[in-house]
Amino acid sequence: MKIKKIAIWIVLCAFLSSAQAQRHLPLTYLPPVPVSVQGTDEASLSLNGIWNFRTDQSATAAINVPGEWEMQGYHVAPGEKAIYDKEFTLPASWVDKRVVVRFDAVSSHAIVKVNGIMIGEHEGGFVAFHMDLTSAIRPGKNILTVEVRANTISDILGCVSQYAAHTVGGILRKVTLFALPQVYIADLNVNSTFDNQYKHAKLDLSTQIVNHTRSAQYAGLRYTLKDKDGKVVFEKNISEKSLKALESKQLDIRIAVDKPNHWTAETPYLYELTTELMNDRHMIQRNVQKVGFREIKVAGNQLLINGKPIKLKGVNRHSIHPLLGRASDPELDRKDAALFLAANLNYIRTSHYPPSEEFLQAADELGLYVESESALNWIQHHASPIWQHWDYQDPKFLPLMIQANRENVMTNKKHPSVILWSLGNESRWSKLWEEVNRTVKILDKSRLTGFHDQTWGGFNNAGSKADIANYHYPGINGPAITDTASRPTLFGEYAHLSTYNRRELLTDPGIRDLFNAPMLSFFDSIYVHKANLGGAVWSGIDDTFHLPDGRIVGYGPWGPLDGWRRTKPEYYGIKKAYSPIRVSNIKRTKDGIICTIQNRYDFRSLEDVKIVALVDGKEIQLTSTIKPHETGDILIPQANNADTVEIIFTDPRGFEIEHELFTDKKPVKEVYAYKPLSLKEDSAFIYITQGDIDYSISKTYGVITRVRKNKELILTKGPSLAIIAANTEDGGKPNVAGETYQNNIYPLKHYPLYTLFAKNVSVENMKDSILVNLDLSYQQGEGKQQFIFTKDGLLKVRYEMEYLKSDIPVYQYGLMMELPLTFDELTWHREGPFSYYPQNHIGRNKGFAKLNANNVYEAEAYGKPLAADWKDDANTLGSNDFRSTKANIISAELKRHTQSKVKVISNGRQASRSWKQDEHIQWLIADYTNNGSEPFYGSPHSNDRLTLRKGDKIKGSLLLKID
């Protein structure tokens, strides 16, 4: 092991030294791809598709671009180069043009050649770079070659492959070949500012023009701005200027725009800007891009967009798909943006590298604020072991740190959705970061910088000077701490979803539903503290990679979306927490139902929102004029005598933002048929008959050993006391900061407490009931249990216990029963924290689920989702829907095809959990349950955790009806 560590150290040092020696082309600009160039039939060509791929050790084979090589079954050793070749035909009309290739991402070091001639090299993944191929290009057929090495210095500084638990290597994003005139647009900066009333605006345009000829040239610019309907807002010209041979010149213009529509995440209005490069009054290049009128400022400790304070409601997003890995897919990028928008998000942090152009285009159009993060991660953080050997303040890292941030800015600055530049993730501030921050502020004065450290406390708090303060994983008191902050404070990661209690999650998916109510209260606290800018839930999408060799690696299932983009239970909880509508104070009046509405939009009045009430199914259109950040009442007419009333709010962009259901319908009190009781005893058992039901109770152990209905077996054990210990096992491996996710883990088995013997057994035959009282000795303590059999067919069970062993953290406790495997249909009625749930949510207030156990013995199925809905995925314990805890039950019942059923009648304070185990159905009715044992949880998600200590007492009850 020591030799292995030394070898790794030598290799990493070699990467560092070579990084300084390599001939990098500094990315001072990134030419925008034109839509047309004078004299060409088409200005650009996509080079996506099949390329040739080989290494020095392997034969040539086909590979998809974009794509990771390892996700396509190719292994390349660290330090080994992978060689990509693509033949293309140069369009005849490009012969006298400059020919440029743009790579949107290559991980992590690329040498670019054309026809065997080296053009240049680039270090760093997840950012775009270009190479001018003109000197080596020839008419007709050409060969573009890219020599790629992974695990180089940029990968190490970003922990890219370490984080993904496999080598992230290859051409990860699109490749575009394009033509430019010999005098061309090299760069364009667009910035908008408003007057003090935010009514009129100025559009600042700075265009860099390069004369690549060896003679003086003249060039001018023509700008045309159109609104979304194609109407011309302005046409402006910059007269032709002289450019010397090989000269670069910046041309600036400020244009007044009257009453432009604002771009915000709620109102993502985009204009189209056409920039035409003119020579001798002829257009020689035309570029088109979207423009949003959006201004960012800080006022005290609040962030303002277009003069108004905003609250960021977000998640962190990795670029991830189980089969594609970190490679981008345009359809998936847009789908992600749409899914997050539909969950009431307005903000995405692109952890821990910049996003694709296609994702930002979707964010621009749909309306999402984006924090674009550079690919620098865990510098001087315990999660990256290399910093045990390297000095994080060594200035030799500075050029690489600046390059990663500069290229982030140059690649993504044209998108109005980008409001923050994140300099890096969970790293320790130093003078190097100060210089990085200064550089970014020079490159882009229109946006703010962030740095993901800890702005208070002793851990990783070294005095960041970024514009936005940051804190990861606060508790419920975190928002209040921001009140005295001098800067806006962002919770860059918070409300971590359950991930590392892997066996517990595999056993009980209901833990995911139990995330939701605390999430709502957490964001309510964030909302009321003005200096708390908001936060990004960790994380957005499950981070698992299904490698071609059959392994599944990565951090694991930490997203409200799984890798296949199915919604998981937390998705709806986040949607409720981030909803711009809060409904409260529902009251019936003679005119209908009045409810109080809080409008949490930052910019939208409810005049823009579609509001519909369903009164006993009849649709009624409602309106409201409640302004942003204000509260008012809405009357739902014709609803004063309705049994059920729903109120549904729909954003102007077409997605439902809030849905509440009210009902005053009183449940019909169930009348139970008379069931005669009889009692028999012998030396070993108590036999009780309750109509057509018979029970056998062991006098030795004090437990019910059999329940039958008309001689048909109903229960084989229980109800007996069970204490389910909390379990933080991740399957035997640490998380990927140390190693990787394990798929070959197994669910937990749970059993009732082992009863040593019953010390005292007494039976009382009452007028309307039979009472059986038991004093029990368990391995873990002493207890009492009472069975009450009533003539209306009910069985009441009460228990209490004094715990007498060593401390134990508890997940659940209550009474557990065992039923034949044929009891495979579950129905329930509960009072969940939300009045309305989607019908595919495991936490819905009323539901039906089938066992549908599946012989899946891993944490997740390989290569494809098991079912269309996440709730229908199943393992050996049953479907997610069947085996998940249903908290706050009013009733729950298990039934089999013969119509025999066992029903639990409750009061909204108990939980039901059923699963297959040992070829039986196990059923726990828990008097105590919590949100699970995720070690990343803080308050409020960790609230109400329980540790049983010696001398502690627990008690509870159960009301059972067998039909």
Cβ burial 663-689 (10 Å sphere, 16+ → b, else e): eeeeeeeeeeeebebeeeeeeebbebb
Q: Is the pLDDT of residue 738 over 60?
A: no
Q: How does pLDDT run across 38-77, given as a tens digit for each residue?
A: 999 999 999 999 999 999 989 999 999 999 999 999 999 9
The radius of gyration computed from the CA coordinates of the chain, to the nearest angstrom, equals: 32
Between 670 and 148, the more confident residue is 148
pLDDT band at residue 736 using 50, 70 and 90 as cut-offs: low
Strands 448-452 and 418-425: parallel
pLDDT band at residue 672 using 50, 70 and 90 as cut-offs: confident
Whether 95 and 139 have beta carbons less than 8 Å apart is answered as yes
Question: Residue 446: which residues within 8 A CB-CB, separation 6 or more?
Answer: 191, 295, 296
Q: Is the pLDDT of residue 25 over 70?
A: no
Residue 533 burial class via C-beta count within 10 angstroms: exposed 0-12, middle 13-18, buried 19 and up: buried
| Residue ranges of E strands in 25-78 | 36-37, 44-46, 49-55, 61-65
What string of H, E and C letters represents the secondary structure of 633-658? EEEEECCCCCCEEEEEEECCCCCEEE
Q: For 221-233, what is the mean pLDDT? A: 98
Q: Is the pLDDT of residue 664 over 90?
A: no
Q: Cα separation of 325 and 62, whole Å? A: 18
pLDDT band at residue 7 using 50, 70 and 90 as cut-offs: very low
pLDDT band at residue 731 using 50, 70 and 90 as cut-offs: low
Question: Which residue is listed with tokens 């670029």?
Answer: 319
Q: How does pLDDT run across 523-559, given as a tens digit for each residue?
A: 999 999 999 999 999 999 999 999 999 999 998 899 9
pLDDT band at residue 19 using 50, 70 and 90 as cut-offs: very low
Q: Cα separation of 961 and 963, whole Å? A: 7
Q: Which of 795, 811, 820, 763 is nearest to 903 (CA)?
A: 795
* Residue 9 pLDDT: 41
Q: Is the pLDDT of residue 430 over 80?
A: yes
Both tokens assigned to 436: 């990085």
CATH code for residues 34-178: 2.60.120.260
User: So what CATH class is 675-960?
Assistant: mainly beta
Distance between alpha carbon 14 and the CA centroid of its chain, in Å?
36
Angle between the N-to-C axes of helices 569-577 and 516-528, in degrees from 0 to 180, rounded to the nearest 10:
20
Q: Is the pLDDT of residue 1 over 90?
A: no
Q: Is the pLDDT of residue 735 over 70?
A: no
Q: For 386-404, what is the mean pLDDT? A: 97
Q: Is the pLDDT of residue 468 over 90?
A: yes
Q: Is the pLDDT of residue 18 over 70?
A: no
Q: Cα separation of 498 and 514, whole Å? A: 10
Q: Which of 696, 680, 703, 746 is nearest to 506 (CA)?
A: 746
Per cent of the chain over pLDDT 90 is 91
Both tokens assigned to 552: 């599944």
Q: How does pLDDT run across 151-191, given as a tens digit for each residue?
A: 999 999 999 999 999 999 999 999 999 999 999 999 999 99
3-class state of residue 737 by DSSP: coil
What string of H, E and C letters represents the secondary structure of 355-391? CCHHHHHHHHHHCCEEEEECCCECCCCCCCHHHHCCC
Query: Which residues is 817 bridged to in the sheet?
Result: 923
Q: Cα separation of 523 and 540, whole Å? A: 16
Q: Cα separation of 537 and 97, whole Å? A: 48
pLDDT band at residue 23 using 50, 70 and 90 as cut-offs: very low
3-class state of residue 4 by DSSP: helix
Per cent of the chain over pLDDT 70 is 96
Q: Is the pLDDT of residue 802 over 90?
A: yes
Domain ranges in the chain are: 34-178, 181-293, 295-384+410-575, 580-649, 675-960
Q: What is the architecture, at CATH level 2, of domain 181-293? A: Sandwich (2.60)
Q: Is the pLDDT of residue 633 over 90?
A: yes
Q: Is the pLDDT of residue 636 over 70?
A: yes
> Could you tell me the CA-to-CA distances from 571 to 592, 617, 652, 840 in Å, in that order?
33, 27, 21, 12
What is the topology classification, in CATH, of domain 295-384+410-575? TIM Barrel (3.20.20)
Q: Which of 249, 288, 282, 246 is nearest to 270 (CA)?
A: 288
Q: How does pLDDT run across 484-515, given as a tens digit for each residue?
A: 999 999 999 999 999 999 999 999 999 999 99
Q: For 766-782, what is the mean pLDDT? A: 96
* Residue 344 pLDDT: 99
Q: Cα separation of 248 and 241, whole Å? A: 11
Q: How does pLDDT run across 126-161, given as a tens digit for each residue?
A: 999 999 999 999 999 999 999 999 999 999 999 999
Q: Is the pLDDT of residue 841 over 80?
A: yes
> In terms of residues, how long is the chain?
963
Cβ burial 63-93 (10 Å sphere, 16+ → b, else e): bbbbbbbbbbebbbebebbbbbebebebbee
Q: Is the pLDDT of residue 407 over 90?
A: yes
Q: How does pLDDT run across 324-339, given as a tens digit for each residue?
A: 999 999 999 999 999 9
End-to-end CA distance of the chain: 64
Query: Which residues is 689 bridged to in the sheet?
Result: 678, 694
- Mean of the per-residue pLDDT values of the chain: 95
Between 755 and 26, the more confident residue is 755
* Residue 737 pLDDT: 59
3-class state of residue 521 by DSSP: helix
Determine which helix (DSSP H) or strand (DSSP E) holds 233, and give its type and residue range.
Answer: strand 232-243
Both tokens assigned to 133: 């191929």
pLDDT band at residue 521 using 50, 70 and 90 as cut-offs: very high
Instruction: Return the DSSP state at 74.
Output: -
Query: Which residues is 147 bridged to in the sheet?
Result: 83, 111
Q: Cα separation of 841 and 572, whole Å? A: 8
Both tokens assigned to 907: 């009061």
Q: For 655-670, what is the mean pLDDT? A: 88
Question: Residue 956: which residues within 8 A CB-CB, separation 6 or more?
Answer: 798, 799, 813, 814, 815, 910, 927, 928
